[in-house]
């Protein structure tokens, strides 16, 4: 069938690749001049199923208050009277219970683990490269309270058979030797050996070429104006380059998905949470990280990408504002120079910001809508890179009328925007 995909970030491009691989005639519409030039451009670089967890969890409201009082705070909130912002915040607070955290983390792990497996198969099939490394994630704890609190996550990791290692200082130095220079600044870590790293921008650009090799067409520099509906189906997409018609449509517009869906009467709980990164040229490889180190205190990920260090983090609730704030850069520079002094030249770093499409419970919104030929692949938050390949294969199966390889529970939405109640889109999937 003919399929139009809206958006060429890592999620849209992965959807295009797997739909084209399934034999469909695919067209991707993207407003930028190339793929992965917005949120997928300079994210933290983690493919981290083991670290997949919702931001909403027990104790988070109290932590948020403490974070806001820190000099290098992981959280920033700009005062706003926008009703959608406060509705989303309230929904997130309602998920800050132990019971909801466990359910939501389980759903995220299911998709993230599957996605890692699909990525590994894609690498084997195509030989795609993107400064990839397979050396795990080190969640670094600066104090004993953080190390003790990790037991709750460890219990869930055990339940879902996710490999992990709880490390003391000596164990940390075995996997990240450069930390020997700052041994007094941490007490231990949780290592997730199944995690990987890589440049999401390079990956998406190369995957788009592979999709084109399978017949997919990418229409760059084309702005999407609206979806045209008739009854219970979408009939076309109106754009700056005219009208596009297809049998099915996949919406993968990240944080901008709710805006496009609003005119169709569909509400999804996706909100833009602003994140920042700096990309630092390495000056001394022996002082740089080997893989990803997550600085738990400041919620900053420090990742080795070839001859660069990607430092990503912070969460800013400020709507669709893309202003680059100097204080956010200061936090990223502090974390990387504090843990890896002399590893890179922060004065020459590229400073970037992007909008993460977050849901209140952390679970993405993937699957059908009340319109029988419109499908969603959005709401991945900080885990778009982690979940991209699995989400692309998952949506390709759904659009093709095939049963996905993993459970659909908790991923579908209904006409009320719920991500908790699955719906049946065909008897074959029942």
Tokens of 182: 């700052």
Does the annotation place 114 within a ligand binding site? Answer: no
User: Which DSSP symbol is given to 339?
Assistant: H
**pLDDT confidence of residue 198:** 97
pLDDT of residue 12: 98
- How confident is the model at residue 414, as a pLDDT? 43
What average pLDDT does the segment 158-163 reach? 87
Q: Starting at the earlier edge strand, list the strands of the sheet with 242-244.
A: 224-230, 233-239, 242-244
CB neighbour list of residue 288: distance below 8 Å, 6 or more residues apart:
178, 282, 304, 309, 340, 343, 344
Q: What pLDDT, on a 0 to 100 scale, did the predictor assign at position 83?
A: 84
337 marked among binding-site residues: no
The answer to the question of whether 277 is labelled as a binding residue is: no
Q: Name the band, by pLDDT with cuts 50, 70 and 90, for residue 321.
A: very high
Residues in the chain: 430
Q: pLDDT of 5-24, one tens digit each?
A: 999 999 999 999 999 999 99
Q: Which of 10-24, 96-110, 210-224, 389-403 has the lowest mean pLDDT?
A: 96-110
Q: 34-44: per-residue pLDDT in tens?
A: 999 999 999 99
Query: Residue 425: pLDDT above 70?
Result: no
| Residue, of 333 and 51, whose pLDDT is higher | 333
The answer to whether 347 is annotated as binding is no
Q: Are 45 and 199 in contact (CB under 8 A)?
A: yes
pLDDT tens digits for range 401-420: 999 999 988 887 543 344 33
Contact 80, 160 (CB under 8 A): no
Q: What is the dihedral of CA 319, 360, 292, 327, to 10 degrees?
A: 30
| Percent of the chain whose pLDDT exceeds 90 | 79
Is pLDDT larger for residue 241 or for residue 57?
A: 241
> 346: how many CB neighbours lie within 10 A of its CB?
19
Q: Tell me, what's the pLDDT at 363?
A: 93
- Cβ atoms 219, 228 nearer than 8 A: no
- Report the mean per-residue pLDDT for the chain: 92
The yes-or-no verdict on residue 137 having pLDDT over 90 is yes
Segment among 55-64, 219-228, 313-322 with least mean pLDDT:
55-64
Instruction: Judge whether 10 is annotated as a binding position.
Output: yes
Half-sphere exposure of 81 (CA within 13 A, CB side): 0
15 is in an annotated binding site: yes
Return all residues near 61 (Cβ < 8 A) that are at least 6 apart.
Answer: 93, 96
Residues with Cβ within 8 Å of residue 127, at least 6 apart in sequence = none
Joined tokens for residue 257:
């998905």
Of 362, 357, 386, the residue nearest 96 (C-alpha): 362
Return d(Cα 259, Cα 86) in angstroms, integer.
17
Q: Would the annotation count 410 as a binding residue? A: no
| Per-residue pLDDT tens over the stretch 62-99 | 888 888 888 888 888 887 778 888 889 899 999 999 99
Query: In terms of DSSP H, where are the helices of 282-356?
Result: 326-339
Confirm or deny that 391 is annotated as ligand binding: no
- Under 8 Å CB-to-CB from 234, ≥6 apart: which residues? 227, 228, 249, 371, 373, 374
Assess contact for 192 and 161: CB atoms under 8 A: no
Task: For residue 105, give every residue at least 6 positions away whose Cβ sits within 8 Å of its Cβ, in sequence order, or none.
Answer: 52, 53, 54, 153, 156, 362
Measured in whole angstroms, how far is the alpha carbon of residue 33 from the centre of its chain?
22
Judge contact between 398 and 425, C-beta under 8 A: yes
Mean pLDDT is lowest, of 102-116, 265-279, 294-308, 416-430, for: 416-430
9 is in an annotated binding site: yes
Is 6 labelled as part of a ligand binding site?
yes
Binding site annotation covers 344?
Answer: no
Is residue 7 a known part of a binding site?
Answer: yes
Q: What is the pLDDT of residue 413?
A: 53
Q: Is 4 annotated as a binding residue?
A: yes
Q: Which is higher by pLDDT, 277 or 81?
A: 277
Residue 392, pLDDT above cutoff 50: yes
pLDDT exceeds 80 at position 319: yes
- The confidence score (pLDDT) of residue 148 equals 92
- Which whole number is the average pLDDT over 171-192? 97
């Amino acid at each position: 069938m003919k399929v139009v995909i809206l958006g060429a970030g890592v999620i849209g491009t992965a959807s295009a690749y797997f739909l084209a691989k399934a034999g469909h005639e695919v067209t991707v519409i993207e407003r930028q001049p190339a793929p992965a030039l917005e949120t997928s451009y300079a994210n933290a670089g983690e493919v981290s199923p083991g670290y997949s967890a919702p931001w909403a969890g027990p104790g988070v409201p109290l932590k948020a208050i403490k974070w806001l009082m820190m000099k290098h705070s992981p959280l920033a909130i700009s005062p706003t009277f926008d009703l959608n912002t406060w509705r989303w915040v309230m929904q997130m607070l309602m998920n800050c219970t132990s019971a909801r955290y466990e359910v939501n983390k389980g759903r995220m792990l299911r998709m993230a683990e599957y996605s890692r497996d699909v990525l590994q198969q894609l690498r084997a099939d195509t030989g795609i490269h993107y400064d990839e490394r397979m050396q795990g994630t080190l969640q670094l704890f600066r104090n004993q309270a953080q190390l003790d609190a990790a037991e709750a996550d460890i219990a869930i990791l055990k339940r879902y058979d996710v490999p992990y290692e709880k490390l003391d200082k000596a164990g940390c130095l075995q996997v990240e030797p450069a930390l020997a220079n700052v041994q007094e600044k941490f007490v231990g870590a949780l290592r997730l050996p199944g995690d990987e790293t890589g440049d999401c921008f390079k990956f998406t650009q190369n995957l788009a070429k592979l999709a084109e090799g399978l017949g997919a067409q990418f229409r760059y520099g084309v702005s999407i104006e609206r979806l045209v509906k008739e009854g219970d189906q979408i009939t076309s997409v109106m754009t700056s380059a005219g009208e596009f018609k297809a049998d099915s449509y996949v919406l993968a517009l990240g944080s901008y998905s709710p805006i496009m869906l609003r005119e169709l009467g569909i509400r999804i709980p996706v909100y833009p949470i602003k994140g920042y990164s700096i990309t630092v040229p390495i000056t001394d490889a022996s002082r740089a990280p080997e893989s990803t180190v997550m600085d738990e205190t400041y919620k900053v990920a420090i990742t080795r990408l070839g001859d660069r260090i990607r430092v990503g983090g912070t969460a800013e609730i400020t709507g669709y504002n893309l202003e680059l704030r100097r204080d956010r850069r200061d936090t990223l520079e502090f974390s990387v120079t504090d843990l890896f002094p002399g590893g890179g030249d922060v004065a020459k770093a590229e400073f970037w910001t992007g909008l993460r499409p977050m849901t209140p419970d952390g679970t993405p919104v993937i699957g059908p809508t009340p319109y029988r030929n419109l499908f969603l692949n959005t709401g991945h938050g900080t885990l778009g890179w982690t979940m991209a390949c699995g989400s692309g294969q998952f949506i390709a199966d759904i659009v093709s009328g095939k049963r996905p390889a993993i459970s659909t529970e908790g991923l579908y939405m209904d006409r009320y925007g719920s991500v908790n109640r699955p719906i049946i889109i065909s008897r074959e999937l029942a």
